[in-house]
Structure formats: C-alpha cells, structure tokens
C-alpha cells in the first residue's frame, strides 16, 4: 500500500467527511500522523496528489486568501452538490 492509499484509507476509516470544511493544517497533521512524516514539503506534495485525484473539495474563505477543504471518500460516486455547505438561493428583485 502506498502513501496516498494509506492516507485515504485512514480518512475513510475515521469518517473525516463528517468534520466538514477544514483548513489545510488539520489535514497536514493527519498525514503526518498516519505516515510519520515531518517534512512539510513531502506532506504538501502528497496532499496535492490526493487533491488531484478528486478526494477534496476546495472552497475559498470569504475576505481571506486561504482555502478550506472537505474530504470526499469516493469522488467518482458522489455529486459535488451533495457536499456543499451553503445552498444557493435564487430570487428575483422587481422594482415595479
């Protein structure tokens, strides 16, 4: 089992999806714990590989330059709309 499969398996086992959107630093701690890595460059590269596989939804924080991420256990089976915190509300403003 390689490093990405180990991290994804651990997050599935711990049901990380229920935690919602979290900052990168929390996922960095999880990866560091699972693999016993302490090199931040390798942890970040591994996180980006997992993001490229589609296991994270990225959302920009309001009025900040940072992002929050949400783990998706099975990215091909789930629809992105199922994991969004805020639903868009459509309305029409009429000035009559």
* Domains observed in the chain: 3-83 (1.10.10)
Beta bridge partners of 89: none
The backbone torsions φ and ψ at residue 60, rounded to the nearest 5 degrees and listed phi first, read -80, 135
**What is the pLDDT, as a whole number, of residue 80?**
52
28-75 pLDDT tens trace: 999 999 999 899 999 999 999 999 888 998 888 888 888 999 999 888
Give the pLDDT score at 84: 54
70/94 Cα distance (integer angstroms):
37
What is the arithmetic mean of pLDDT over 9-24?
A: 91
Q: What is the 3-state secondary structure (H, E, C) of 34-55?
A: HHCCCCHHHHHHHHHHHHHCCC
Considering the chain, what percentage of its residues have pLDDT values greater than 90?
Answer: 45
Alpha-carbon distance 54 to 74, whole Å?
A: 9
> Which residue(s) pair with 57 in the sheet?
70
By mean pLDDT, which of 5-14, 66-75, 81-90 is the weakest? 81-90
């Amino acid at each position: 089992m390689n490093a990405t499969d180990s991290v994804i398996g651990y997050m599935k086992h711990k049901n990380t999806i229920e935690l919602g959107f979290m900052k990168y630093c929390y996922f960095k701690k999880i990866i560091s714990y699972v693999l016993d890595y302490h090199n931040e460059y390798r942890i970040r590269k591994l996180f980006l590989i997992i993001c490229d596989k589609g296991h994270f939804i990225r959302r920009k924080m309001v009025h900040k330059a940072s992002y929050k991420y949400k783990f998706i256990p099975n990215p091909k089976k789930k629809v992105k709309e199922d994991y969004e915190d805020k639903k868009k509300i459509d309305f029409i403003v009429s000035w009559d």
